[in-house]
């Protein structure tokens, strides 16, 4: 096989009669074939899981390329969409469990920690949840009853199979106030406490999490940590807080990432990075202003790397991932999980967010499933950590 792979170079070397040393050097030059790259999960410190969110084609076993990467590299999976309310419980009396059952079975078959994402969120939740049959807005009592029914049904079904649940997702605004959502509007501040109570009742063994983005912003982080305190004061359980980790090449800073992890741990729970990806395309808020012409123009102006990520940006991305993993390893005893939001760049949600139809490059594997320099940078950090005294 090796001979076939290095083809004409080997033939040339043999013809020149340079012997084995030269052959070895030639293999080296070609780089290690993708399948021989190390597995991230084998390099992680004990107690720190590494995983990816997978989409339905992947959990259905219909994406062999991503499937092979997930099986070899990771020991935890998250469902990109299929456990969200709108997908698993689209109508009041209808649950669509089959895709989620296959997702859970996929993780179990590979001995992975299977994550549940998510129970209570304002997005991807059908309008019927927040309205009554007569069209009126749901009351506190009615919405709490729906919440309890949904949580006990979904968590109950996967009791003992799902390792941990994102119980509430994205409940706070950037300034730390409660996000204005139908949940908050109808139930009030304690909707989060209720969700954690119902989740614990449905599976007392499953880990329970609060999950949000931009927790590196002190005001928002303070709100999440206040929630931890409130839950504990009421004798309710929360095991970890997840910073999603939808970051850019420059934001947040290393110090902000570090403070996020240490502050969460300081509140007496574990920290997790739950949806890691690094956006390489412009996201300047000015570009999304009202006067901004059309979406097509926005896409044209910002779809910078449609034909591939150039070497300089590959290196920038690699350095950024290396920096992040350096922090994760330094703080590994405060962290329980790092999950990428996707497997290869081909299916990252950032190809369509916040601008639809762009070509983004936020993950460790490119569109062909080849590991990028960013993958090597992560491996280098893990190997340096493993080799350290």
Catalytic residues: 170, 275
269-to-142, 208, 231, 232, 239 alpha-carbon distances in Å: 32, 11, 11, 10, 6
CB of 80 to ligand XIL, least distance (A): 5
Looking at the Cβ atoms of 328 and 340, the one nearer to ligand XIL is 340
Max distance between CA atoms of the chain, in angstroms, equals: 86
CB of 149 to ligand XIL, least distance (A): 22
Expressed in angstroms, the distance from the first to the final Cα of the chain is 38
Strands 164-169 and 207-212: parallel
Residue nearest to ligand XIL (CB): 349
Exposure string for 5-23, b = 16+ CB within 10 A, e = fewer? ebeeebeebeeeeeeeebb
Tally Cβ neighbours within 10 Å of residue 90: 12
CB of 40 to ligand XIL, least distance (A): 21
Looking at the Cβ atoms of 74 and 382, the one nearer to ligand XIL is 74
Looking at the Cβ atoms of 120 and 318, the one nearer to ligand XIL is 120
Beta bridge partners of 168: 120, 210
CB of 320 to ligand XIL, least distance (A): 19
CB of 213 to ligand XIL, least distance (A): 6
Contact 305, 359 (CB under 8 A): yes
Looking at the Cβ atoms of 275 and 345, the one nearer to ligand XIL is 275
Q: What Rg do the C-alpha atoms of the chain give, in angstroms? A: 23
Binding interface with ligand XIL (CB under 6 A): 80-81, 169, 244, 275, 349
Residue with tokens 């209570």: 120
Looking at the Cβ atoms of 81 and 315, the one nearer to ligand XIL is 81
In angstroms, rounded to a whole number, what is the distance separating the alpha carbons of residues 220 and 266? Answer: 16
């Amino acid at each position: 096989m090796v001979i076939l792979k290095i083809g004409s170079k080997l033939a040339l070397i043999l013809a020149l009669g340079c012997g084995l040393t030269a052959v070895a050097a030639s293999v080296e030059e070609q780089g290690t074939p993708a399948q021989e790259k190390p597995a991230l999960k084998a390099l992680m410190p004990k107690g720190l899981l590494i995983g990816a969110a997978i989409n339905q084609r992947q959990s259905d076993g219909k994406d062999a390329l991503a499937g092979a990467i997930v099986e070899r590299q990771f020991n935890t999976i998250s469902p990109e969409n299929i456990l969200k309310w709108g997908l698993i419980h689209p109508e009041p009396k209808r649950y669509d469990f089959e895709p989620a059952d296959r997702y859970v079975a996929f993780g179990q078959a590979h001995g992975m920690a299977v994550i549940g994402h998510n129970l209570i969120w304002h997005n991807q939740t059908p309008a019927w949840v927040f309205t009554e049959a007569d069209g009126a807005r749901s009351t506190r009592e009615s919405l709490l009853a729906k919440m309890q029914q949904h949580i006990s049904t979904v968590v109950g079904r996967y009791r003992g199979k799902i390792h941990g649940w994102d119980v509430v997702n994205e409940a706070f605004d950037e300034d730390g106030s409660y996000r204005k959502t139908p949940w908050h509007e109808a139930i009030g501040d304690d909707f989060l406490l209720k969700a954690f109570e119902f989740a614990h009742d449905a599976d007392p063994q499953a880990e329970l999490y609060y999950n949000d983005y931009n927790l590196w912003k002190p005001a928002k982080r303070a709100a999440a940590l206040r929630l931890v305190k409130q839950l504990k004061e009421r004798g309710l359980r929360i095991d970890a807080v997840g910073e999603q980790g939808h970051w850019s090449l420059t934001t947040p800073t290393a110090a902000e990432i570090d403070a996020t992890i240490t502050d969460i741990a300081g509140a007496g729970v574990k920290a997790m990075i739950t949806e890691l990806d690094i956006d390489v395309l412009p996201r300047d808020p000015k570009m999304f202003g009202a006067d901004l012409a059309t979406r097509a123009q926005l896409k044209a102006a910002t779809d910078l790397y449609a034909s591939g990520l150039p070497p300089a940006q590959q290196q920038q991305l690699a350095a950024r991932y290396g920096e992040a993993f350096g922090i994760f390893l330094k703080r590994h005893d405060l962290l329980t999980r790092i999950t990428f939001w996707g497997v290869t760049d081909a299916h990252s949600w950032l190809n369509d967010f916040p601008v639809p139809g762009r070509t983004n490059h936020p993950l460790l594997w490119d569109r062909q499933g080849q590991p990028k320099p960013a993958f090597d940078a992560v491996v280098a950090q893990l190997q340096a950590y493993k080799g350290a005294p």
